[in-house]
Amino acid sequence: MKSLRALRILAALHTRPCPSNFTSSPVSLLRPFSAQPEEDSDPNDSDSVFNSSHYVLPTPAGDHPAPRQPTWSKQHRRRADEVLFGDKKAVRVLEDDEDKEDLEEDEEEEKRRVLAKALLQAALAAPDDEDDDEETAVREEDQKSLAVGIIGAPNAGKSALTNFMVGTKVSAVSRKTNTTVHEVLGVMTKKDTQICFFDTPGLMLTCGGFPHKDLKARVESAWSAVKLYDVLIVLFDVHRHLTRPDMRVTKLIERMGAQAHPGQKRVLCMNKIDLVEKKKDLLQVANQFKDLPGYDRYFMISGLKGSGVKDLSQYLMEQAVQRPWDEDPTEMSEEVMKNISLEVVREKLLNYIHQEIPYEIEHRLMGWKELRDGSLRIEQHLITHKQSQRKILVGKKGSKIGTIGIEANEELRSIFKRDVHLILQVRVK
């Protein structure tokens, strides 16, 4: 009985709640707790990585759902239409017939059979004398090409003009100065002429008329490459010149046009004329530089809106020389596509990261692979020098790098006309 009583007392002790002021006991009857280790601040955590496969990307307008493409060629369909609907009366009857949707099933089936037979006959027939595809093929001995360099002060609009001339984005465009950090190639091909545009980093002179000594090697390289182009476009912001004239820009224009260059044509382009309210002010600027002997022509353009670009393009076409093309006119080379992917990400980076941080980030292309389904897998790393910079770039729970990645991925899909799997990773050097 004594042993049974002792067991009841012990059971009561286990079920009785401990008082709030209970701090110590000779017997360890309290609920045990284990210390949890602190989370490591891994610089390569999941928040610092953007993976486009984890997001529902917006569908580009007009791409999905894609219209169902016919299995026959347009040429064969055109022949079939001539055979079936050559009679104008028959065409008019079909167009004006409001009850054609109520045709009987057998009539619809018969029409499909006749169409299929006509398509088969068109496919077996001899090809036309001249096809549209053959018109675009230019023999190598008939090809003309031209290398055009675009230089100017930072933020003069060189990248915007390059993108407009080429017809697609090949260079990053932003409000910040020194957006372009290396030479960017853009290609425009029309008929038998191919023009290669080289967008260069912004160049600047001191008030004394000499290049800055503190410029990096890439800008010094741009200065050394000035004489390598067939045509050199010197671009400047005419709106800024009228509102806030800069002697350094004036010195650059005067230096480039100080003397004639027999082996190179130089043109002076006054950009951003759409921002100038009084057009008579443009003539005032033109008179300021009209006596410079080094410039062959003067153009007033808007690289963003396209005003005056047609005249500039026509002039460049006339300057092309008999020479084989350097680039394939039908598709982008892999090197050009790689450069575009870096430029697009860099543009989004400049839009969302401010102050000096974007210029200190090391931007690398780490992976490029074309998958079996035709899509592209692109991996890029953004390397910072400080942990604080990494936190700014990643954002709260990866919000900043996620926004940059989504917008860049969507734009790359519209440029390359295919699905793109973009991976961005932020890490500390």
Least confident interval from 199-208, 316-325, 398-407: 199-208
Residue of 230, 145, 148 whose CA lies nearest to 189: 145
At residue 116's C-alpha, the angle toward residues 113 and 121, to 5°, is 125
**Which residues lie below 8 Å from residue 174, measured CB to CB, with a gap of 6+?**
347, 350, 351
Residue with tokens 């299995």: 71
DSSP H or E stretch at residue 144: strand 144-152
Instruction: Specify whether the CB–CB gap between 394 and 426 falls below 8 A.
Output: yes
| pLDDT at residue 1 tops 80 | no
Residues forming a β-bridge with 189: 194
- Write phi, then psi, for 333 (nearest 5 degrees): -75, 160
Q: What share of the chain is helix, strand, coil (3-state, %, to 5)?
A: 45, 15, 40
Residues 364-414 have pLDDT tens digits of: 999 999 999 989 999 999 998 888 888 888 888 888 899 999 999 999 998
Tokens of 328: 């394939």
Pairwise CA distance, residues 189 & 195, whole Å: 6
Buried/exposed code over 387-425 (b: 16+ C-beta within 10 A; e: otherwise): eebbbebbbeebebbbebbbbbbbbbbebbeebbbbbbb
Whole-prediction pTM? 0.64
Pairwise CA distance, residues 250 & 236, whole Å: 9
Residues 107-116 have pLDDT tens digits of: 777 777 777 7
Residues 309-318 have pLDDT tens digits of: 999 999 999 9
> What percentage of the chain carries pLDDT values higher than 90?
22
Q: In this structure, are strands 297-300 and 321-322 parallel, antiparallel, or unpaired? A: unpaired
| pLDDT (mean) for 202-211 | 55
**Which residues lie below 8 Å from residue 410, measured CB to CB, with a gap of 6+?**
57, 58, 60
Query: Between these two residues, 381 and 96, which has the higher pLDDT value?
Result: 381
| pLDDT at residue 90 tops 80 | no
Residues 238-289 have pLDDT tens digits of: 999 999 988 888 888 988 888 888 889 999 999 999 999 888 888 889 889 9
Pairwise CA distance, residues 427 & 159, whole Å: 29
SS3 215: coil
| pLDDT at residue 330 tops 90 | no
| pLDDT at residue 170 tops 90 | no
pLDDT value of position 311 = 92
Neighbours of 302 (CB within 10 A): 22
Residue 196's alpha-carbon distances to 65, 230, 231, 301, 360, in angstroms, are 35, 10, 10, 19, 30
Query: Between these two residues, 421 and 386, which has the higher pLDDT value?
Result: 421
DSSP H or E stretch at residue 277: none
What band does 213 get if pLDDT is binned at 50, 70 and 90?
A: very low
pLDDT value of position 27 = 41
Neighbours of 220 (CB within 10 A): 15
Query: Between these two residues, 172 and 233, which has the higher pLDDT value?
Result: 233
Mean of pLDDT over the chain: 75
Residues forming a β-bridge with 267: 233, 297
What is the full DSSP assignment across 245-270?
A: --HHHHHHHHHHTSS--TT-EEEEEE
Neighbours of 236 (CB within 10 A): 24
Instruction: Specify whether the CB–CB gap between 198 and 191 falls below 8 A.
Output: no
Pairwise CA distance, residues 194 & 320, whole Å: 8
Least confident interval from 43-57, 128-142, 224-238: 128-142
pLDDT value of position 39 = 43
Instruction: Specify whether the CB–CB gap between 402 and 50 falls below 8 A.
Output: yes
Domains and CATH numbers, the chain: 76-96+104-124 (no CATH), 140-322 (3.40.50.300), 331-428 (3.30.300.20)
| pLDDT at residue 185 tops 50 | yes
| pLDDT (mean) for 53-71 | 56
pLDDT value of position 409 = 93
Tokens of 61: 């307008």
| pLDDT at residue 417 tops 70 | yes
